[in-house]
Amino acid sequence: MKLIIGLGNPGAKYARNRHNIGYMAVDRIAAAHGFSPWRARFRGRIAEGRLGGEKVVLLKPETFMNLSGQSVSDAAQFYDLPPEELVVFHDELDLAPGKARVKQGGGHAGHNGLRSIHAHIGDSYGRVRLGIGHPGHKDEVARYVLGDFAKADAGWLEDLLCGIADGAPLLAAGDGAGFLNAIALRTVPQRVSGGAAERKEAGATAPGDAPPADSRTPLQRLTDRFR
């Protein structure tokens, strides 16, 4: 069994904040994979379901970000899960918008939600870092993370959330690389190889292409037949 947590702040005023991208991630997983309706539990809200062959509980702490560890600890203790069976989705200033990284254990890098979780269950839990970019100056961080995503962010944000939903069964199975690949298939423009110009330069053809004109003389064609 896995406990997958999305970090954020409760309430409509925070719903589109950059700081709430963890909530957005688990909301999308629940909707895409037919989880139960969200219900109040563990000082937060939970939804239950399966990802692949794994039973999963999704959790959105509602203690506000700085006290997230209280809710996470309550749920982990109830289900008797060690930190290694927990995965936390959170916003990451040090990653470009739309990028994602999977990490097991390690520091909290000043993130208040992670800091609280560290204080309650230690640092060996897994986390998925979701890039939101950096405002450029540390004095702007609080305003930035508590600000809403801009309209210009809608495209990459939607692609990222779709990729998270696509790859969620792989994440639950412990396949972090497969999960990140599922995200990349949504977020990284796929390079189209073998285009007409490339085929022409290489002398190759594709189905439907007209065969190249034969510029050999009749004598050359006859000679080539017997080579």
Q: Is 90 helix (H, G, I), strand (E, B) or coil?
A: strand
Query: Alpha-carbon distance 222 to 213, whole Å?
Result: 17
| Cβ atoms of residues 178 and 170 within 8 Å | yes
Q: Which residues contact 173 (CB under 8 A, 6 or more apart)?
A: 51, 52, 53, 54
174: Cβ–Cβ under 8 A, 6 or more apart, which residues? Answer: none
Which is nearest to 89 in space by CA: 45, 125, 135? 125
User: Among 122, 129, 80, 64, which residue's Cα sits nearest to residue 103?
Assistant: 129
Tokens of 147: 């600000």
Task: Please identify every residue annotated as catalytic.
Answer: 19
| Radius of gyration of the chain measured on its C-alpha atoms | 25
Q: Are the CB atoms for 28 and 165 separated by under 8 Å? A: yes
Give the helix ranges, DSSP H, for 33-64: none
Entry field: residues in the chain: 227
